[in-house]
């Protein structure tokens, strides 16, 4: 973990420099403080910077990461292990961006980009696997609904006819 951390907290009044304490983060994102520490412990969140006294100071970037975890977990039903994979892929891409040097020649840049594409492709494959299964299920439900509806229409026509033809 090369954790090239955020600006070191200058002593004195550092808290409001675009950084947030754990309580603020917890409230904003909708998780408990305990959960934030838990994620950190499990390696899902990089250790944030700290104040002199030891209080955690989260950057906006950190907060986005927490939100991403919540999204992957709540909405998509990923396990923390899967989420960690996803985040690590994100990290790789971030790392690639940090390594980027404008003075590189085009081939080096292309190679870097190709690596980023490969990582993103991997993420997408994971997502699409679940996506396909869900779409199939949705289609089946839709079919059923349509069959029910057409049946209802038939019956309504029969109703209006007031008399059935045997």
Partner DNA sequence: GTTACACTCACGGGGCGTAAAGGTGA
Partner DNA sequence: CTCACCTTTACGCCCCGTGAGTGTAA
Q: Which of 35, 95, 120, 123 binds DNA (CB under 7 A)?
A: 35
Q: Which of 53, 103, 107, 159 binds DNA (CB under 7 A)?
A: 53
Are the beta carbons of 87 and 80 closer than 8 angstroms? no
Cα angle at 77 between 119 and 3, to 5 degrees? 45
Nearer to DNA, 1 or 159 (CB): 1
CA-CA distance, 14 to 57, in Å (whole number)?
A: 9
Q: Which does 137 bind (CB under 5 to 8 A by kind): DNA, a copy of itself, none?
A: a copy of itself
Q: How many CA atoms lie within 13 A of 28 on its CB side?
A: 17
Element containing residue 56 per DSSP (H, E): strand 56-57
**Least separation, in Å, of the C-beta of 33 and DNA?**
6
How many CB atoms are located within 10 Å of the residue 32 CB? 13
Q: Which does 88 bind (CB under 5 to 8 A by kind): a copy of itself, DNA, none?
A: none
CA-CA distance, 57 to 9, in Å (whole number)?
A: 8
Confirm or reject binding of residue 30 to DNA (CB under 7 A). no
Give the binding site for a copy of itself (CB under 8 A): 71, 75-79, 106-107, 109-110, 113-114, 116-117, 120-121, 123-124, 127-131, 133-135, 137-138, 141-142, 144-145, 148-149, 151-152, 155-156, 158-159
Assign residue 54 a region: left if phi > 0, alpha if psi is -120 to 50, beta otherwise? left
Confirm or reject binding of residue 54 to DNA (CB under 7 A). yes
Confirm or reject binding of residue 96 to DNA (CB under 7 A). no
Please report where in the chains the tokens 């994979």 appear, as a residue: 85
- Residues in contact with DNA by CB under 7 A are 1, 4-5, 7, 9, 15, 21-24, 31-35, 37-38, 42, 50-56, 73, 79-81
């Amino acid at each position: 973990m090369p954790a090239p951390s955020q600006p070191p907290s200058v002593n004195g009044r550092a808290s409001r420099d675009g950084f947030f304490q754990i309580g603020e983060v917890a409230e904003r994102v909708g998780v408990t403080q305990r959960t934030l520490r838990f994620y950190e412990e499990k390696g899902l969140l990089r250790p944030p910077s700290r104040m002199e006294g030891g209080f955690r100071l989260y950057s906006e970037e950190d907060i986005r990461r927490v939100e991403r975890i919540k999204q992957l977990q709540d909405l998509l039903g990923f396990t923390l292990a899967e989420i960690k994979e996803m985040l690590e892929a994100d990290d790789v891409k971030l790392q690639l961006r940090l390594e980027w040097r404008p003075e590189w020649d085009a081939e080096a840049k292309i190679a870097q980009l190709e690596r980023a594409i490969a990582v993103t492709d991997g993420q997408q494959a994971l997502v699409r696997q679940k996506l396909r299964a869900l779409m199939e299920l949705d289609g089946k439900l839709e079919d059923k609904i349509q069959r029910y509806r057409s049946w209802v229409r038939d019956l309504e026509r029969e109703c209006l006819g007031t008399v059935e033809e045997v």
